[in-house]
């Protein structure tokens, strides 16, 4: 029976406390007025460059009007419009800087929640497939998916606060914006706050209900004299995968893509799926290796670690394939309403945008290509850390450009949010692992898993 160590528990609590202070500091540092926002931006060179760019646009417009023989009255009208644009720009800048701590919180909350959701999908797939090599790892997966409850509640609270206009993460939730946007008016049947929250409740309720019921059946099977619980778990897992594939795509539209509602991609659901799967399998491997080095999971051998690393390798390639497919088709077509998504990220997030290709594909491809290296625990852990950093950056650049724009950098709000949710994730997962024996007793495939060799 596993017992969470005091050092791990204290370490997780310290991470949460330090992270919470960083989150609070991020909100306290956010500007309250347009003047404060402009003063904050003026301290950075980017702010000067942006202001100069705006001024240049106004001068070009005015010169063009004069060149076309515009009247003085028309020039005055342009000045008035420029003044209105300045006011709108200042308000937009304020919203961007106020969004920054919210965005940092949302990115980290969603990232760790999606790890647990990816593990849940991986677990359900192997339950439905009746895979013979994974039963020894089921309790590890069940422990990780325990985070769905606190993680899901936190994500839902952030979404609820967005609906209540506590932030500006989702522009389509602002009635004034919708009133002046014909495209958003056409999407209002789907993108409306009430239906948005109802869908979130259905998604979270379905995922958590399956996890709790499957976990209960898994524990019952240990004490059962037949395989009825195992068979029922197989059936509900197969049914859940249908629900998951539908809701996973919808949640990627709702929680991520709708942040930039003028842009869409038919590959986006699969892209997010690949991200959560590679992150989930990576965490399974890292937790398994940790427990094994602590003297638990004695029957888990190098072949189990090898196959987990093989999934890490495979899903990283799958993620890169989807990234390239989405990027190449949109960039090559050069349709303005589609390509603007990548123009903004290449212009303002170039290092992150292309850097995540290195951390999510190039390095894992080179590190995990060799079959022998997949059996080396520290090598798998090192590769896993690189992948998790890369996937956090992936979530960061999916969300932040649409909420913060070019007013971004990695600072106190971002680091604080990562530390807080990392601490909460570690504390909740390992507490769940300590609540039941780590090795199933009566799974029909337990002997096959115990003697698994690749």
pLDDT confidence band for 87 (50 / 70 / 90): low
**130-161 residue pLDDT tens:** 999 999 999 999 999 999 999 999 999 999 99
**CA 420/CA 295 separation, integer angstroms:** 28
Tell me the whole-structure pTM to 2 decimals: 0.89
Is there a contact between 220 and 186 (Cβ–Cβ < 8 Å)?
no
Residues 161/163/168/174 CA torsion (nearest 10 deg): -160
User: Which residues neighbour 108 within 8 Å (Cβ) at sequence distance 6 or greater?
Assistant: 392, 414, 417, 418, 420, 421
Q: Please name the residue that has the structure tokens 């998504």.
A: 341
Where do we find the tokens 């304020």? 94
Give dist(CA 242, CA 244) in Å, integer.
5
* Proportion of the chain above pLDDT 70, given as a percent: 90
Length of the chain: 454
- Running DSSP on this structure, what letter comes out for residue 438? S
Task: Name residue, tokens 């965490």.
Answer: 283
CA dihedral (193, 171, 92, 47) positive or negative: positive
Residue 418, C-beta contacts closer than 8 angstroms, at least 6 positions apart: 19, 108, 392
pLDDT tens profile 21-56: 999 999 998 888 888 778 877 776 554 444 344 444
CB 271 within 8 A of CB 322: yes
Decide: 450 and 302 in contact? Cβ < 8 Å: no
Rounded distance between C-alpha atoms, residue 193 and residue 184, angstroms:
13
Q: How far apart are CA 106 and CA 163, in angstroms?
A: 14
C-alpha distances out from residue 348 to 11, 407, 410, Å: 35, 9, 13
Give the Cα separation of 31 and 250 in Å (integer): 34
pLDDT grade for 86, boundaries at 50, 70 and 90? low
Q: How far is CA 234 from the centre of its chain?
A: 28
In angstroms, the CA 10 to CA 427 distance is 9
Which tokens sit at 355? 């850097």
What pLDDT is recorded for position 343? 93
Q: What Rg value do the Cα atoms of the chain yield, rounded?
A: 25
Nearest to 224 by CA among 438, 442, 440: 442
Out of 88-92, 95-99, 173-177, 277-281, the most confident range is 277-281
Pairwise pLDDT comparison (32 vs 301), residue with the higher score: 301
**pLDDT at residue 187 tops 50:** yes
Angle at 190 between CA 184 and CA 194, to 5 degrees: 105
pLDDT higher than threshold 90 for residue 274: yes
* Tens-place pLDDT, residues 367-400: 999 989 999 999 999 999 999 999 999 999 999 9
pLDDT > 90 fraction of the chain, expressed in percent and rounded: 75
As a whole number of angstroms, the distance between CA 452 and CA 454 comes to: 7
Q: What pLDDT sits at residue 403?
A: 92
């Amino acid at each position: 029976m596993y017992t969470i160590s005091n050092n791990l528990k204290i370490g997780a609590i310290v991470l949460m406390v330090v992270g919470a202070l960083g989150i609070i500091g991020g909100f306290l540092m956010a500007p309250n007025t347009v003047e404060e926002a402009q003063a904050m931006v003026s301290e950075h060179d980017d702010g000067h460059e942006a202001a100069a760019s705006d001024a240049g646009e106004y001068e070009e417009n005015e010169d063009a009007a004069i060149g076309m023989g515009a009247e003085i009255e028309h020039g005055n009208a342009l000045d008035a419009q420029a003044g209105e644009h300045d006011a709108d720009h200042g308000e937009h800048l304020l919203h961007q800087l106020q969004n920054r701590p919210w965005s940092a919180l949302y990115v980290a909350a969603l990232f760790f929640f999606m790890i647990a959701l990816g593990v849940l999908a991986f677990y359900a797939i192997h339950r439905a497939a009746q895979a013979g090599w994974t039963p020894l790892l089921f309790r590890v997966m069940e422990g990780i998916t325990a985070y769905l409850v606190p993680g899901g509640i936190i994500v839902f609270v952030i979404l609820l606060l967005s609906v209540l206009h506590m932030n500006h993460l989702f522009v389509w939730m602002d009635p004034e914006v919708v009133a002046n946007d014909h495209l958003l008016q056409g999407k209002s049947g789907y993108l409306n706050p009430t239906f948005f929250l109802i869908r979130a409740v259905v998604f979270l309720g379905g995922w958590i209900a399956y996890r709790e019921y499957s976990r209960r059946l898994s524990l019952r099977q240990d004490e059962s004299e037949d395989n009825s619980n195992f068979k029922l778990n197989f059936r509900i897992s197969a049914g859940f995968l249908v629900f998951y594939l539908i809701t996973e795509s919808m949640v990627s539209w709702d929680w991520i893509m709708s942040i930039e509602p003028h842009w869409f991609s038919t590959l986006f659901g699969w892209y997010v799926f690949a991200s959560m799967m590679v992150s989930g399998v990576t965490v399974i491997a890292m937790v398994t290796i940790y427990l094994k080095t602590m003297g638990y999971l004695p029957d888990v051998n190098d072949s189990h670690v090898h196959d987990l690393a093989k999934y890490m390798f495979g899903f990283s390639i799958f993620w890169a394939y989807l990234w390239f497919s989405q990027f190449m088709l949109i960039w090559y077509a050069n349709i303005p309403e589609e390509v603007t998504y990548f123009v903004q990220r290449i212009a303002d997030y170039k290092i992150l945008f292309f850097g995540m290709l290195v951390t999510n594909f190039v390095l894992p491809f080179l590190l995990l290509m060799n079959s022998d290296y997949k059996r080396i625990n520290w090598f798998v852990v090192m590769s896993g850390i690189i992948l998790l950093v890369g996937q956090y950056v992936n979530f960061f650049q999916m969300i932040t450009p649409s909420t913060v724009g070019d007013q971004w950098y990695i600072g106190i709000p971002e680091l604080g949010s990562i530390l807080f949710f990392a601490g909460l994730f570690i504390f909740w997962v390992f507490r769940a692992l300590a609540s039941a024996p780590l090795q199933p007793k009566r799974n029909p495939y337990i002997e096959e898993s115990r003697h698994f060799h690749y």
